[in-house]
Amino acid sequence: MSETGLVPAPDVLPLPAPVPLLHALLLLTFFVHVLFMNGLLGGILLASWSRLRSRSPADAHALLAGQLTRLLPVLVAGTVTAGVAPLLFLQALYGQFFFTSSVIMAWPWFLVIPLVILAYYGTYVQSYAGARSGRGRTTLLCATAAIFAVVAFLYVNNTTLMLRPDRWGALYFAAPGGTNLNLGDATVWPRWLHMVLGAVAVAGLLVAWLGHIRSRSDAAQGALVRRHGLTAFTWLTTANILAGLWFFVALRRPVRMLMMGDSGHATGVFMLGILLAVAALGLAAGAKLRGGRGSLTVLTVVAGILLLAMILLRDVVRAAYLGDLYQPARFPLQTQVFNLALFAVLLAGGLLTVIWMLRRLRRAWTTAGSSG
């Protein structure tokens, strides 16, 4: 059966807004989601690493792990909440692909919900149990980190399988009960590794900011935390460049060629990502030498633009893999002006609320540092 015959027809329900607007909202809301997700996944991995390296409850590594674990429940809530909108936009625009891949890997996909709930409990135990959980706290922290890494792996399997209608038939008939994963796709492992390493790098930048805030009450401890964060950002960004090269090589040749000159947009985004990654490494080295808020601010802005470039490049890959199978011109449209205006107001209000909450969290962190 041809790929075209395997792809379901678009949903008969009309879209509430033009495809370009929904596509832009998909990228915008996914960017917000990725910010929280990187802080969560990278933060818990850095916290686990710090806890494993600590030799006493009062050394620098244990203190850093404690600082990160107190943030984890907030980051889980932010990741899940901010992930709702892009998932809905993805279903509206690519439902014929996403729902099919979800059915083919139904049972692993169902596991995402109980795994996230279980890991959420784990973050609360880490945040509030303190030293009372003893040695088991390190084991629990590493197990919780592993669960989040597995959830990320399941998401990568689904988002890559939705791009491969050519694999749907073989996978379904091999296991019609829905126990499939997309492990036969050469892009799965490098894409997952690229995402995980990028998350830890972004979390390293978060740690650097925590150190900057901490330095207001404890200059020595703050400088140490800041240096640890920038070191993690530098090494993980370097490693992620190599993982990105692996991911690039694993892509289909026509997709690679789009980034090598066949498409001005794809090539421009690809080159921008490389230049920003190199610039971020240089800025991180400068921030370690100079200190101060200004260098961290510039690095954060560059890292944010780099993250946006990676999201745009991800979109390029998705469009290239689906090709002519994705025909948004066929989608029925019934613009709902009131609902769009309501969504815009709620989105702006939600973003302002998140900013207010982060400012309150920073203030509470500073106060806790001053009293502790």
Residues found in the chain: 372
User: Hey, how many other C-beta atoms are within 10 angstroms of the C-beta on 108?
Assistant: 20
User: Helices 136-161 and 60-104 sit at what angle, rounded to 10 degrees?
Assistant: 30
How far apart CA 257 and CA 263 sit, in angstroms, is 8
Q: What is the DSSP letter of 218?
A: -
pLDDT score for 366: 61
Q: How far is residue 80 from each of residues 30, 35, 137, measured CA to CA in Å?
A: 11, 12, 24
- CA neighbor of 206 nearest in space, from 37, 29, 39: 39
Q: What is the DSSP letter of 262?
A: I
3-state DSSP assignment of residue 78: helix
Q: What is the DSSP letter of 9?
A: P
Q: How far is residue 169 from each of residues 146, 173, 178, measured CA to CA in Å?
A: 31, 6, 12
Place of tokens 């590594």: 61
Domain spans in the chain, listed from the N-terminal domain onward = 9-334
pLDDT score for 9: 81
pLDDT in tens, the chain (372 residues): 456 567 888 877 889 999 999 999 999 999 999 999 999 999 999 999 988 888 777 777 788 888 889 889 999 999 999 999 999 999 999 999 999 999 999 999 999 999 999 999 999 998 876 545 466 788 999 999 999 999 999 999 999 999 999 999 999 999 999 999 999 999 999 999 999 999 999 999 999 988 888 777 777 778 888 888 999 999 999 999 999 999 999 999 999 999 999 999 999 999 999 999 999 999 999 888 877 677 899 999 999 999 999 999 999 999 999 999 998 888 888 999 998 899 889 889 988 988 888 788 777 666 655 444
3-state DSSP assignment of residue 327: coil
Tokens describing residue 330: 């066929």
Q: Show the CA angle centred on residue 224, arms to residues 223 and 230, nearest 5°.
A: 85
pLDDT score for 216: 75
pLDDT score for 57: 72
The pTM score is 0.91
Q: What is the DSSP letter of 10?
A: P
